Structure 1
């Protein structure tokens, strides 16, 4: 029904329990999802992830008939320096998320670009160094599970909330296994243009540096708009992505505050038809 490179994040229906969210997405005609596993944002995956939890989530996903492109998770603030016990806990949590990613057949685990704050813990340079180090180490661990490690390197609410900071992080990740997720809403909310961001990112990370694209509308300062209600020029953005050789997949991440829950299915279907025509 929709383009086979276009999926829907389960975060779009985070208000529903996972089985109902999956049934809604499948019923709309999608064949692929990003699976939300973000504490405090989307509870479709338990934070205290046990082997039984991994098996249960995998069974629900398999039963839905949907394939999983990525798992969108978090293991803590990568620019923080926890003590030994906290580091061990973070490492164990990462392994559980990677096990989930592998078990559901996803291509990659996505981790954030630092804490939910623009203020560095030390200096900006030191924090960026630490985030890059943590992501690179996580990517090596991911390879042992047979999956990739991606990062949403520009996130309006996190340490790398501007294009300059995202590119500084990308510079530090050159030569690592880490690939980048571009979220058009975060790019526009930060005051940048998608064409500028994708071109600059590819210039640093290479033609295969962009692994995945999240789709939601935005205006400067606000990422939470449904597609058509913001200022993102999706046609220009997708043209720019084609121009830099992007051949990956897209995901609607409609965590939009201008929709009621009842309006979400119709808005997702409308957005998917619109983006399918552009792809």
Structure 2
């Protein structure tokens, strides 16, 4: 298992600066997306996947791209997976995004499951999104790279729903325990999703709070790291403390929380010969 930092954790830094910060922290990889000053250009990726891949590596200067967060629209709602009538356009875009990821050697691309749209039930949203995912997984490279992040305010908010989706589609997930734990699910139940993780987000949380200071949350990180190791996970652990106007995540010192999480993993991995951090 290896660490990365999410570029959207630092909204006032350019991507070059995020890469420099990662290097300073001794972390060899960055998760990239379409947000804030570090944003990649989605339009440019869709128009010239290979060219943008070359430009990304030049910008990162030796820091590896660990993951791409792809959003189909400008918001969580626009062109979301559960919205009827969006599949054709989303498949078209995702084809180019996967070409970009292959050219840039980005191991995983994550998308969101969609929301319960006006006039829908959760069951309606689940059916449309599931059909969309089944079609997306037929695209070249999708089985190797594509994954989905269950999150608060989506239709996919419980471990049980995630298991059902996995059974139907075979889709791998981005495991962010904070999204489940803040809704009251115990860590032991969340642990059962570890065998299906393609990418992992790390931040402290507690029931009722999507993000908390490291010392004030309830996620047992040594236990989580051990669970991932036992599940055979060998991918990136993305440090994802954020400063966003979303669910009260404006109040932590992001750099301090990033360092604390880095140190928690290093302390654990130093005692675990099979799970020592790589670049």
2:208 corresponding residue in structure 1 = 221
1:124 corresponding residue in structure 2 = 122
Deviations 1:191-235 (A, max 9, x none): 112331222x36xxxx4x222211011122321334333221212
1:242 corresponding residue in structure 2 = 229
1:169 corresponding residue in structure 2 = 165
Higher strand proportion (structure 1 or 2): 1
Identify if the C-alpha distance between structure 1 residues 57 and 253 changes in structure 2 by more than 3 Å, giving closer, same or farther: farther
Deviations 1:117-140 (A, max 9, x none): 5x6753333322221221232222
Q: Which runs of 5+ in 1 are unaligned?
A: none
SS of alignment partner, residue 37 of structure 1: coil
Q: Please identify, of 209-218 and 162-171, the stretch whose mean Cα deviation from structure 2 is larger.
A: 162-171
Q: CA deviation at 1:30?
A: 0.8
Deviations 1:83-118 (A, max 9, x none): xxx544323321232222122211121111222x5x
Deviations 1:226-276 (A, max 9, x none): 43332212122222323333333311111143556xx43343223211122
The alignment status of 1:91 with 2:91, answered yes or no, reads: yes
- Is the CA contact (8 Å cut-off) linking 1:45 and 1:57 kept in structure 2? no
The alignment status of 1:74 with 2:74, answered yes or no, reads: no
Distance in 2 separating the partners of 1:194 and 1:36:
28
- Is the CA contact (8 Å cut-off) linking 1:78 and 1:130 kept in structure 2? yes
Name which of 263, 266, 271 aligns with 1:276: 266
Q: Which runs of 5+ in 2 are unaligned?
A: 73-78, 244-248, 270-279
The alignment status of 1:28 with 2:25, answered yes or no, reads: yes
Normalising by structure 1, what TM-score?
0.79
SS of alignment partner, residue 140 of structure 1: coil
* TM-align CA RMSD: 2.8
Identify if the C-alpha distance between structure 1 residues 226 and 45 changes in structure 2 by more than 3 Å, giving closer, same or farther: farther
- Is the CA contact (8 Å cut-off) linking 1:225 and 1:258 kept in structure 2? no
- Is the CA contact (8 Å cut-off) linking 2:3 and 2:237 kept in structure 1? yes
- Post-superposition, which runs of at least 4 consecutive aligned residues in structure 1 deviate over 4 A? none
Identify if the C-alpha distance between structure 1 residues 64 and 43 changes in structure 2 by more than 3 Å, giving closer, same or farther: closer
